[in-house]
Amino acid sequence: MKSYIATEAEIQEIYNQYHAYLKSNNNPSVRYFFKLATETITIYTNNRVFIQNGEKQITNTNFVAHCGSDESGVGDYFGPLTVCATIVEEKHHNMIQQLNIKDSKQMRDDYILKIAPKLMEILPYSLLILDNEKYNEQVEIHNSHGLKALLHNQAYINLAQKYQLPQLKVVDQFCSENNYYKYLKGKEIIKVHLETKAENKFLAVACASVIARYAYLTAMKQLSAKYHVEFLLGAGSHVDELGKQLVAKHGVAILQKTAKYHFANTKKIIGDTE
């Protein structure tokens, strides 16, 4: 990751060299966006040039203040959908370096449960937790990608109500840019940069993924305590077996309260109980 303020002459030189790689970008703060084979070059209206090498990880030393958002619970049958947006500035970067933050999928859950509260003390963040009953209601209206887009956008709106957001706002990409903004039609919109595998490229996205995962794991513990059974992660056959046990004890309605009902698991569970 490299960032610097360029002169008009330097910007023109970059444009002349890479104009064939120019891509559209809906962020009004972005003047030019070039997508090359191994890196992207973003030039903002304030003449800041941001160069991101796709092979580099979030441990780069040339740090730029930015926002990031990510979600957890998307692929898990049981439990809520959680979305977090964070701000990481240079002062925060220096404070959390020793925590060894990376994409939450590359971290042990017990470590996430240990360090996430520390992140939440240090970083400005907005966290949304969509419980299963609300999730099942809303996913029928918006579909899963639309629902995620709405939650990411709302997390940024909530964050902007309390803090001054940096210019760069990154969402770990789960759909095309066109679809992302279509899902938000008619809503207040925070313009963002969508990036695949963003958890490995932007520290704020990695931090958001850790906090979102922490919130998901905490919610799962609460479900386990409420129903006196250990709720399982994932969406495999082990989850189906648990679902059958829950339905046998509480009835089919329990799935609306604890699971993502539109998953294929539901048919496997109910099919064997009818």
Per-residue model confidence (pLDDT) at position 103: 65
Residue 274 clears pLDDT 80, i.e. is over it = no
CATH architecture of the domain covering 66-222: 2-Layer Sandwich (3.30)
Among 203, 268, 217, CA closest to 58: 203
Q: What is the mean pLDDT of residues 102-126?
A: 88
Per-residue model confidence (pLDDT) at position 155: 98
Residue 98 clears pLDDT 80, i.e. is over it = no
Q: Which range in 7-11, 116-120, 151-155 is most confidently predicted, on average pLDDT?
A: 151-155
Do the domains spanning 2-53 and 66-222 agree at the CATH topology level?
no
Residue 93 clears pLDDT 90, i.e. is over it = no
Per-residue model confidence (pLDDT) at position 198: 87
Residue 220 clears pLDDT 90, i.e. is over it = yes
Where exactly are the structural domains of the chain? 2-53, 66-222, 228-271
Per-residue model confidence (pLDDT) at position 208: 95
Superfamily of domain 2-53: TATA-Binding Protein (3.30.310.10)
Distance from C-alpha of 45 to C-alpha of 249, rounded to nearest angstrom: 60
pTM of the model: 0.77
How do residues 26-55 score in pLDDT, each as one tens digit? 887 889 998 876 778 899 888 888 887 754
CA torsion, points 105, 106, 111, 117, in degrees to nearest 10? Answer: -50
CB-based contacts of 26: which residues, under 8 Å, 6+ apart?
A: 177, 181, 191
Mean pLDDT, the chain, as a whole number? Answer: 89
Among 151, 96, 100, 93, CA closest to 126: 151
Q: What is the mean pLDDT of residues 216-220?
A: 97
Residue 58 clears pLDDT 80, i.e. is over it = no
Q: What is the mean pLDDT of residues 209-232?
A: 96
Per-residue model confidence (pLDDT) at position 62: 57
Question: Can you give the chain as a three-state secondary structure string?
Answer: CEEEECCHHHHHHHHHHHHHHEECCCCCCEEEEEECCCEEEEEECCCEEEEEECCCCCCCCCCCCEEEEEEECCCCCECCEEEEEEEECHHHHHHHHHHCCCCHHHCCHHHHHHHHHHHHHHCCEEEEEECHHHHHHHHHHHHHHHHHHHHHHHHHHHHHCCCCCCCCEEEECCCCHHHHHHHCCCCCCCCCEEECCHHHCCHHHHHHHHHHHHHHHHHHHHHHHHHCCCCCCCCCHHHHHHHHHHHHHHCCHHHHHHECCCCCHHHHHHHCCC
Per-residue model confidence (pLDDT) at position 59: 43
Q: What is the mean pLDDT of residues 60-72?
A: 80
Work out the percent of the chain whose per-residue pLDDT is above 70: 94
How do residues 157-193 score in pLDDT, each as one tens digit? 999 999 999 989 999 899 999 999 999 999 999 999 9
